[in-house]
Structures are given as C-alpha cells and as structure tokens.
Amino acid sequence: MASQPPSAPLCSESLDDDLKTVSELRRVKLPSMPSSDLEHLFHELPAVIRAYGRFKLLTLEARQNRLLAPLDPLEVSKDSPPPEEHPKSEKKFWGDQETLSKIPFKILRGHKDLVSSCSFCADDTKFLSCSHDSTLKLWDAVDGFVIRDFDHKPKAPVLECSVTADSRRIITASYDKAVKAWDLETGKLLWKINYETFIASCKVSPDGKYVVSALDVDRAICIMDAENATTVSYIKSHHSRSLTACCFDPDSQKVASVSLDKSIKIWDLTSQATLLTITKAHSGAISNCCFTFSGHFLCTSSWDKTLKIWNVHTGEFRNSGACVTLMKGHEGSVSSCHFSRDTSVLVSGGFDRTVAIWDVGEGYRKLSLKGHSDWVTDVAISNNKKWVLSASKDKTMRLWNIEEIDEIPLVIKYKKALSLKVKQCEVCDRPFSNYESDIFSETVTKCVFCRMDAKGSLTEASSSLGGEDSPSEECSPTAND
C-alpha cells in the first residue's frame, strides 16, 4: 500500500471544526448504494477531513500574514496600512497628586483672599466656605466646583459660617458687625441683625432653633431665636478679655465659649446661668472649641501649640480638669479643631500650615497633612470620616481623602516618638547610643556595660542576704499562702 504524505499539525480551532464536521457527516442520511461503494467512501473520508484541515490552516496563516505585514521592518516598498490601535483606558487618580504624598487631595480655588471658615453639609455631598473677599460659597464635594455664590452686601470680610444639622439654613458673621441667616436651597437672605461691636464667632444650634454670637468689645455672648431673630440671652462681660470662639452642645442646651483670657465657660440656656468655669485652661490664648457628638467632652485648641480634651460631666470635670492633652502635633499655634461624628478622630489645623489627624482613644497624632503654603484657619471632617476639609490663608481649600488612614500600622505611634541620641556614660565616660521617647519616661544615663555591672552587684547583694530574714521575704508569697 502506498504511504500517504504526512499531514500538517492541526491547531485547536481547526480540530474543533473537524470534530463538528465529523459529527455533521455522521448525521447525514446517505442514499442507498452498493456495499462496495459505501466501503470505498468511508476509506476516502479521513483524506477529506485532512484536506479540509489543511485548507483551514492555510486560511489562518494567510490572515496572520496580512496582520503582521505592516509590522515587518523590512517592508519598505509597499504602502501598508498602519495597524489598528485600540485605545487603552488610562487609570485616573482622584485629586491633585504630589510625588511624596500618600494621601490624595483636591485643591479648591475660588476665593480671592483668606478663607476663614469651612464646613460640610447635605450629608457630606456639599460644603460651605467663607472668605475675607466678602463671599460665601456653596461647593459640590464630589466634583469640587462652586454651586452657588451668595450675595453679601455691603462688602465686608466674612469671619465664620455655620449650617444647621438639616442643611436648611446658613448663619454668617462678618466685619460689618452683622449676623445674617440664609436659605441654603434658594440662596435667599432670611434676616439680618446688626450689632454695635465686632463679632468674633457665630454658631447655629444642632436643632436649628438658636444662634449664638461671640461679641468682641463687650466680651459677651448673645443667644438669639433662629426663626425671628429675637434675643433670648445676652451675657455681657462673660469673659475678662475678648472672646475667640463659641459653640453649642449636641442637645442645643449649653454654650461653650473660649477667650484670650485662657479660660473656658459653659452657659446653660435652661437655668440662664454659668454652669462651669475653667480658669487658666491653657498657657496661651484659646483659639477654638468643639463638643463631641455625645456632649460629654469638649476639645479646646490654643496658641500654646496644644489641644486639650475636657470631661464636662459636672462633678468629674471640676475635680480632675483636663483628661487628655494632645501635644507635639503642631509646631505653631493651633487655630481650629473638629471631632468626627463617632468621636474616634479629631482634626486640627495650625499656623504651621499643617492639618493634624489625632486618634482620640490612644491620644496620639495619627497623621500630619502638609500642602498649604500659609496658615490653616479652619478644618472639618465628614460624617463618614472619609474626607477632611481645610481652609487656609493661602486663599485655597484642600479636600483630603483619608479613607484608608486606618490601615496605617499602630507601630507608627511609637516609632514617631523615638529619637536616637548619643550620650556619655556617667560612670566610665564612654559614649553610647540610646533611643529616647516622649512616650516612655525612663532616662538612661549609663552605658550597657555599667548597667550590667550594677545589675550583677545587686544580684550578689541579694544572694548574700539569702540566709537572713529580709523585708522582701516577709512580703513575698509562700507556698502555704
């Protein structure tokens, strides 16, 4: 029998097609024919399949050659069409990126002068800002563009803006000695109150019923009805020096105020009396204050570069004073502070142009956000703890994405506080290296060799007293106890 030529190797695609062809041929109902012709047909069938496979392979090779022809570096004589380019989806990063920055942020430009105040509203989808350029702006928190500019006449720098919990009204204080209320949705001016003195701060109560203003020259706080702008309480000479900030507690029944006189006062609306007074709460002027969402704690920021968290439970507060002092977070005066809704995070801004993020439970600085070119005047944090907003004297705001900050290892807490220093042993005068920390108060003055010698001498002394009765043996537990 004559040998058949070797068949070409079949690719997986042609093999699948051949199997389909065989299955289709098997389903074909052949006409009746003699058995000899039928046997001859089945002998010729493999040759037909192989020929079909070679045809498919030649077709595939021809198509590949057409695709590869434009890529041939030696193909210079023919004008071949360029290969088809498929657009690649570029990975886009949110915000403005810096080379060494691990926290994404967005720079928000729109004011022409110092941005004095900022706050989130409308379930963190929008935020407010006011500036010394006499404007009040409502921003879209997702895209970072201005939704509305509120008209502010006469032209005067706006010092502070505050929004109700239901995001329906805005309260502003400005250098024209006026407090104004605005409708957030329509931008309409609801009412305006003029004072005879400058207004250092203004806040609206969480329930939207009251507005408190801190007055400069009179050193007073004025509490008004937010609906009809009538005065509820006017406490003159509340502090011995000018007030710097004031705020309501979450129940809208108490007002905390701080001043240049370094004191803290809490006024009760129900009893119309000062419940608590802390004199010399800081070593410098107190710049700002904020309550926790539960109302049990109050945080104050100061020009002495520290923040303090106070327990405002009546008895414990008067007895123990400051329960937590947050130090070594800013290198300059602290201008502002703001708690997260669950009180686990505290955000502060400083004159050192940084924003500090604090772990309240552990009492340490978790992160320092750098990027502003001038003082940070105000800070805010969203309810979901994903965004931090900072306002600055550099006429910009920054929206920081701190969603993954909890993934920062806790070891940073201890690592950041350690510093390697070279000392001289007080016994042998040999130099030695030692880590010093602001967390661990132990001070090492001897090298390791002298410490080992001292430890050995103590061991020998204790062994020499082993047969005698000693105070340590009298106090130590025995097997019979």
Cis before 70? omega within 30: no
Contacts of 314 (CB under 8 A, 6+ apart): 275, 276
Provide, rounded to the nearest whole percent, the portion of the chain with pLDDT above 70: 63
pLDDT in tens, 427-439: 887 776 665 543 3
Task: Tell me the average pLDDT across 226-253.
Answer: 94
Residue owning tokens 């050995």: 456
Closest CA to 221 of 212, 209, 211: 212
Helix (H) or strand (E) holding 221: strand 220-225
Question: What's the start-to-end Cα distance of the chain, in Å?
Answer: 106
Q: With bands split at pLDDT 50, 70 and 90, how would you rate the model's confidence at 26?
A: low
Task: Tell me the average pLDDT across 235-259.
Answer: 96
At 251 the pLDDT is 94
Instruction: Identify the weakest region by mean pLDDT among 363-372, 400-409, 453-462.
Output: 453-462
pLDDT at 82 over 80: no
pLDDT at 84 over 90: no
* Residue 404: both structure tokens together: 């993954």
Separation between Cα atoms, residue 388 and residue 399, nearest integer Å: 6
At 139 the pLDDT is 96
At 437 the pLDDT is 42
pLDDT in tens, 110-169: 999 999 999 999 999 999 999 999 999 999 998 889 999 987 766 799 999 999 989 999
Amino acid in the structure at residue 130: C
What's the gap between Cα 11 and its chain centre?
56
Decide: 168 and 185 in contact? Cβ < 8 Å: yes
Separation between Cα atoms, residue 312 and residue 293, nearest integer Å: 13
pLDDT at 425 over 60: yes
Q: For the purposes of burial, counting CB atoms within 10 Å of the CB of 93, is it exposed (0-12), middle (13-18) or buried (19 or more)?
A: exposed
Decide: 217 and 199 in contact? Cβ < 8 Å: no
pLDDT at 224 over 50: yes
Higher pLDDT, residue 84 or 159? 159
Give how far Cα 460 sits from Cα of 249, 468, 473, Å.
62, 14, 16
At 451 the pLDDT is 74
Separation between Cα atoms, residue 316 and residue 276, nearest integer Å: 12
Separation between Cα atoms, residue 78 and residue 286, nearest integer Å: 81
Higher pLDDT, residue 26 or 155? 155
Q: Is the dihedral of CA 373, 379, 382, 384 positive or negative?
A: positive
pLDDT in tens, 366-394: 999 999 999 999 999 999 999 999 999 99
Helix (H) or strand (E) holding 463: helix 448-464
User: Bridge partners of 273?
Assistant: 268
Q: Is the dihedral of CA 188, 192, 197, 199 positive or negative?
A: negative
Torsions phi, psi of 96, nearest 5?
-95, 130
Domains of the chain (ranges, CATH numbers):
105-408 (2.130.10.10), 417-458 (no CATH)
Instruction: Identify the weakest region by mean pLDDT among 86-100, 271-285, 287-301, 359-373.
Output: 86-100
Instruction: Identify the weakest region by mean pLDDT among 172-176, 182-186, 230-234, 315-319.
Output: 315-319
Decide: 107 and 398 in contact? Cβ < 8 Å: yes
* Residue 79: both structure tokens together: 């004008």
At 63 the pLDDT is 60
At 40 the pLDDT is 58
At 323 the pLDDT is 57
At 10 the pLDDT is 47
Q: Is the dihedral of CA 14, 17, 23, 29 positive or negative?
A: negative
Instruction: Identify the weakest region by mean pLDDT among 26-30, 66-70, 75-79, 385-389.
Output: 75-79
Task: Tell me the average pLDDT across 54-79.
Answer: 54
Q: Of the segments 358-362, 457-461, 463-467, which one has the largest average pLDDT value?
A: 358-362
Residue owning tokens 């069409």: 81
pLDDT in tens, 189-199: 999 999 999 99
pLDDT at 233 over 90: yes
pLDDT in tens, 39-49: 555 555 555 55
Give how far Cα 406 sits from Cα of 29, 90, 147, 470, Å.
72, 28, 32, 52
Contacts of 70 (CB under 8 A, 6+ apart): 80, 81, 82, 83
User: Bridge partners of 247?
Assistant: 256
In the predicted model, what is the mean pLDDT of the chain?
77
Separation between Cα atoms, residue 162 and residue 160, nearest integer Å: 7
Separation between Cα atoms, residue 404 and residue 399, nearest integer Å: 15
By three-state DSSP, how is residue 374 classified?
coil
Residue owning tokens 């701190």: 402
Amino acid in the structure at residue 373: S
At 364 the pLDDT is 86
Separation between Cα atoms, residue 335 and residue 251, nearest integer Å: 25
